[in-house]
Structure 1
C-alpha cells in the first residue's frame, strides 16, 4: 500500500470515527467498532504506530469537540484506542491472514467465527473495564449493556467489511480470473 493510499484511508477512517462519535450521543452508538475496524484494516500496511497515533488523536479531538476537557479527552482517547489495538492484535494472532483472505482453507468457518467473536468480546470487555475504572460516573448496568452492544457491533461491522472487501463484484475490483484446472470451468492440461 502506498503512502498516499494509506493517508487517504486514514482520513476516511478518521472522518467515520468522528461521525460515529458525534452520532453516538443521539443514536446510542459507540465509536469503538469503527476504531477496531480501522486498526484491523490498516494492519497490512505495516504502519501500525502511525495508525494508533492517528486514532488516539482523532478520539481526543472528538471528545474535545463534544466539550470534554484536556484530561478527559486523553482518558477517552485511551479507552477508544487501547481496545481497538487489542482487537487488531488478537485477530492477527488468532486468525492469521483472515483479513487478507488467505489461510482460510485451513480453518473451518466455525473456528474462524469463534476466534473473531472471542476477540470482539475481549475488546468490548476491555473497553468497558477501562471506562468503569477511568470514568467514575459510569453505572454497572450501563457498562454491561455497552459491552454487549460493542461486542456485537465489532463482530458484525468486521464481518460486513470483510465480506464487502472480498466480494468479486465490488466496484473498481475486477473479478478474479479462473485458472486452468480450477473449479467452475476451465480445462485440465496434462504435462508429460
Structure 2
C-alpha cells in the first residue's frame, strides 16, 4: 500500500469515526466499535502507531468541539483508544490472519468467532473500567446496557467489514484457469 492510499484510508476512518462520535451523543451510541474496526483494519500495514495518534487527536478535538475541557478530552481519548487498540491486538493474537482472509485453517469458524467475541467483550470491559474511573457514579443498568450494546456493535461491524473486504478483494471471475498443454511426466 502506498503512503497516499494509507493516508486516504486513515482520513476516511477519521471522518467516519468523528461522525460516529457526534451522532453517538444524540443516539446513545458509542464510538468504540468504529475505533476498534479502524485499529483492526489498519493494523496489517504495520503503522498502527500513526493510527493511534490520529485516533487520539480526533477524539480530543471532537471532545473539545463538544464543549469538554482539554484534560477531560484527553481522558476521553484514552477511554476510547486503549480498548480499541486492545481489541485489534487480541484479534491479531487469538485469530491470526483472520482479517486478511487466511489464518488458522485448523480451527472451526465457530471457534474463531468465539475468540473474536471474547476480544470484543474484553475490550468493552476495559472501556467500562476506564469509564468508571473517569466518570464515577454509573448505574448498573448503564454498565450492562453498554456492555451488550458495544459487544454486539463491535461484532456486527467487524463481521460486516470482513465480508465487505472479502468481496472487494476477491479475484475476478473472468480469469481462466491454467491448463497444461502436454504431459511432461515421461522425460
Q: Same fold (TM over 0.5)?
A: yes
Aligned to 1:134: 134
Residues 1:191 and 1:34: Cα distance change in structure 2 (over 3 Å): farther
Aligned to 1:95: 95
Number of residues paired by the alignment? 184
Deviation, structure 1 residue 120: 0.6
Partners of 2:147 and 2:56 in 1: CA distance: 20
Cα-to-partner distance string for 1:53-99 (whole Å, 9 max, x where unaligned): 11111111111111111111011000000000000000000000000
Partner of 1:106, secondary structure, is coil
Residues 1:157 and 1:191: Cα distance change in structure 2 (over 3 Å): farther
Q: Give me the TM-score of the superposition, normalised by structure 2.
A: 0.91
Partners of 2:98 and 2:111 in 1: CA distance: 11
Q: Give me the TM-score of the superposition, normalised by structure 1.
A: 0.88
Aligned to 1:175: 172
1:30 aligns with 2:30: yes
Aligned to 1:147: 147
Residues 1:174 and 1:101: Cα distance change in structure 2 (over 3 Å): closer
Residues 1:175 and 1:105: Cα distance change in structure 2 (over 3 Å): farther
Aligned-pair RMSD on alpha carbons?
2.1
Equivalences for residues 66-105 of structure 1 within 5 A: 66-105=66-105
Structure number with higher relative contact order (C-alpha < 8 Å, ≥ 6 residues apart): 2
Aligned to 1:110: 110
Gaps of 5+ in 2: none
Runs of 4+ that moved beyond 4 A:
176-180
